[in-house]
Amino acid sequence: MLKVRIIPIVLLKGYSVVKSIRFTEMRNLGNPIVIARIYNSRNVDELVLLDIDASKNGSKIDSFTVEDVASECFMPLTVGGGLKSLEDIAEMLAKGADKVALNASARADEDFITRASEVFGAQCIVASIDVITIDGTYFVYSHENAIATAMNPIEWARRLEALGAGEILLNSVSNDGMMKVELVRLICDAVSLPVIAVGGVSCPEDAVAVVAQGASAVGAASIFHFTSHTPQCLRNACEANGYPVRKHFEIEFK
């Protein structure tokens, strides 16, 4: 069994880190460089950096911010937000990113996933899926248009795997604050790719529940920003329940 990864999710709005509640309410959390340093001191498994407004604004994640964050990271870094071309991906990798997350661009042009995978390798391409629940039914959510699409997320996950994606970043929009473990299980059962489950892990036990449904990694933000729980707490809980984790130690950040 692959070792479970605990991955902080860092959301950018402009040049500031924010925490969203169902993609609407925003709290400003400060400078991404400082936050990257903190997570680096905590020896997290990976870091995901996403510009949540880039696609909506017709721009892309700032390459200088990516470069600055990458210079502080000694862990794999995934970046996303408005990446629409192979040149965009190449630029992010040149700035120090290890992987890129593609969401709106994949929905707009399915072949983009295939081209990107062929050029950069599937291990570099993370397909991001935002999911919203309406009357008990799951739909793919379009953040840039703030609407639920007609796409079924389970079918879309299968399609992304067939197109060449190397990993799925699954974000439960409706349950930002309450990840639905059923959704995680459905996606994990549908694909053979590693799945990073994001959306509402509020305690270490939530992380264990998500992993129990088949997730290869747990992505979280609020639990690290607003509680006393650290990534190591989540790793310890997973390990205590029989799931292998990477061995790390944390040092105090000053």
Q: Any catalytic annotation for residue 130?
A: yes
Between CA 96 and CA 227 the distance in angstroms is 30
- Which residue type is seen at 30? G
Among 28-37, 104-113, 120-129, the minimum mean pLDDT is found in 28-37
Assess whether pLDDT exceeds 90 at residue 169: yes
Which band of pLDDT confidence, cut at 50, 70 and 90, is reported for residue 146?
confident
What is the three-class DSSP state of 151? coil
Q: What is the pLDDT of residues 38-90, one digit of tens each?
A: 888 888 999 999 998 888 888 999 999 999 999 988 899 999 999 999 999 99
What fold, for 5-240?
TIM Barrel (3.20.20)
Between CA 103 and CA 160 the distance in angstroms is 10
Residue with tokens 């498994």: 45
Between CA 25 and CA 242 the distance in angstroms is 37
The pair of structure tokens assigned to 141 is 């959510």
Q: What is the mean pLDDT of the chain?
A: 88
Q: For residues 228-251, give the mean pLDDT.
A: 85
Catalytic residue among 45, 62, 68, 130: 130
Q: What CA–CA distances, in Å, run from 135 to 4, 147, 250?
A: 32, 15, 43
Give percent of the chain above pLDDT 90.
Answer: 62
Assess whether pLDDT exceeds 70 at residue 13: yes
Between CA 157 and CA 232 the distance in angstroms is 30
Distance of CA 216 to the CA centre of its chain: 12
Q: What is the pLDDT of residues 179-224, one digit of tens each?
A: 578 899 999 999 999 999 998 788 999 999 999 999 999 998 888 8
pTM of the model: 0.90
Of the candidates 118, 146, 114, which has an alpha carbon nearest to the alpha carbon of residue 132? 146
